[in-house]
Amino acid sequence: MKKVVVGMSGGVDSSVAAILLKEQGYKVIGLFMRNWDSSINNDFLGNPDLNNDICPQEKDYNDAKAVCKKIGIPLYRVDFIKEYWDDVFTYFLDELKKGRTPNPDIMCNKYIKFDLFVKEAKKLGADYIATGHYAKIKDGRLMRSHEHNKDQTYFLSQVSKEQLKDVLFPLGDIKNKQEVRAIAEKYELVTAQKKDSTGICFIGERNFKSFLKNYLPSKEGKIINIDNNKILGKHIGLMYYTIGQRKGLDIGGTKDKLFVVGKDLNKNILYVAEGENNKYLYSNSAILENINFNCDERPMECTAKFRYRALDVKIKLEYLDNGNILIKYNDVKAVTPGQACVFYKNEYCLGGGIIKEVRKDNKKLWYLL
């Protein structure tokens, strides 16, 4: 009997993943990861859970224990608090310091869930590891899940071919979230109606502005209309804004809606423009760095997502001598430095890169970092 170690998060998805694997005849073992400690990590400002009798991580662990007991599998626990800080959270903070918009969930998958977790699972004798991600593996290739609305291959874009070698995604063919919850209800699991986790990976919901004050000093600066160079107000710190953002600018009196279109880190200026179709929101090429392919294919053309919920866009790829990739596309709105550009070919996810530089007509956009 093949042994599978499942990443048990204390949520309904990983709970049902374990059930499905057990039903398929695997010997299933649960492994819970604790990656964040609020007291050790100075997580006080913006933390809504400080006065709770039990912290969310311990509540999740208790839920994972209850699920494993109910379905009859053992549960182990491992702490990666230091490693998460060093490999994921430090990256997150460094990117924010540069004025970019990072995605810590992607790096969490790369360095924690599909690296350190796998090593721990192997110590338990795992033939395979499994998670509650909505994705598929077919013939060693990463594919979108059946439920496209929940598909999480975007967040797996930095996971390597080798890391995906012995991975199972039991939820890949699930029709919808309701089906997941129905399975959990059938087994009378405490997680059946548990709210999905949101916020930063393994940290949870936070008041973002207050939370960042624990780690980064904020500096007020000018908000300038890029079309006429008029000063419209003050921003509270460039790290709190992302390209394409409309809400939270606290500026009135303009004819049309205002959108964030750029940042000048040296001058501490936030640039905005009126109208959701303003030319400053659009680009048609970008430079990608930190390239990862999870397959042998190196396409010259494919589609890509620039954000998790975005639609696929047709792109052309030019492989540069320094290992980066230049991609070209028809005008796309709010392509953002620091975010992931993820490659797809039909249902297959090929990997991706991190957006380093955004361009228009082969020229770097001066108002984008």
Backbone angles phi, psi at 273, to 5 degrees: -145, 155
Smallest CA-to-CA distance from 200 within 66, 41, 336 is with 41
Asked if 325 and 270 count as a contact pair (C-beta separation under 8 A), the reply is no
* Catalytic, out of 201, 302, 341, 349: 201
From the candidates 55, 108, 302, 349, give the one annotated as an active-site residue: 108
Task: Please tell me whether residue 116 adopts helix, strand or coil conformation.
Answer: helix
Do 107 and 158 touch, CB atoms closer than 8 A?
A: yes
Classify residue 114 by its DSSP letter: I
HEC string of 173-230?
HCCCHHHHHHHHHHCCCCCCCCCCCCCECCCECCCHHHHHCCCCCCCCEEEEECCCCC
Q: Is 108 a catalytic residue?
A: yes
Residue 264 CA: distances (Å) to CA of 155, 229, 278, 291:
28, 13, 19, 26
CA distance 231 to 20: 58
Give the single-character DSSP code of 113.
I
Nearest to 85 by CA among 61, 117, 69, 107: 107
Please say whether the beta carbons of 171 and 14 come within 8 A: no
Active site residues: 108, 201
